[in-house]
Copies of this chain bind each other. A is one copy, B any other.
Amino acid sequence: MAAEPERAREAECGGERDGGVAPSERTRVRRAPQRARYDRETVEAILDEGVFAHVGFAVEGRPFVIPMVYGRRGDVLYLHGSPASRLLRAGRDGVELCLTVTHLDGIVLARSAFHTSVNYRSVVLFARAVPVDDAAEKLEALRAVVDHAVPGRWSGVRGPDETEFRRTLVLKVPISEASAKVRTGPPVDDESDMTSDAWAGVIPVQLAYGEPLPDPQLRAGIEPTPDVAGYRGPGSPA
Contacts and interface: CB of A to CB of B under 8 A. Distances in A.
Interface string A29-71: 0110000000000000000000110111110011111110100
A158 B203 contact: no
A168 to B, nearest CB: 5
- Tell me the number of copies of this protein: 2
Given A63-B98, A96-B61, A217 B116 contact: no
B203 A209 contact: yes
A65 B167 CA distance: 28
CB-based closest 6 A-B pairs: A58-B58, A204-B210, A208-B208, A54-B54, A56-B65, A56-B63
Given A113-B154, A116-B146, 4 more contacts: A2-B167, A5-B82, A58-B63, A197-B219
28 contacts: A1-B80, A1-B149, A2-B82, A30-B85, A52-B102, A57-B63, A58-B58, A66-B124, A67-B102, A67-B122, A107-B231, A110-B157, A111-B157, A113-B154, A113-B157, A116-B149, A156-B198, A186-B216, A199-B214, A200-B222, A201-B214, A201-B224, A202-B212, A204-B209, A204-B213, A205-B207, A207-B208, A208-B208
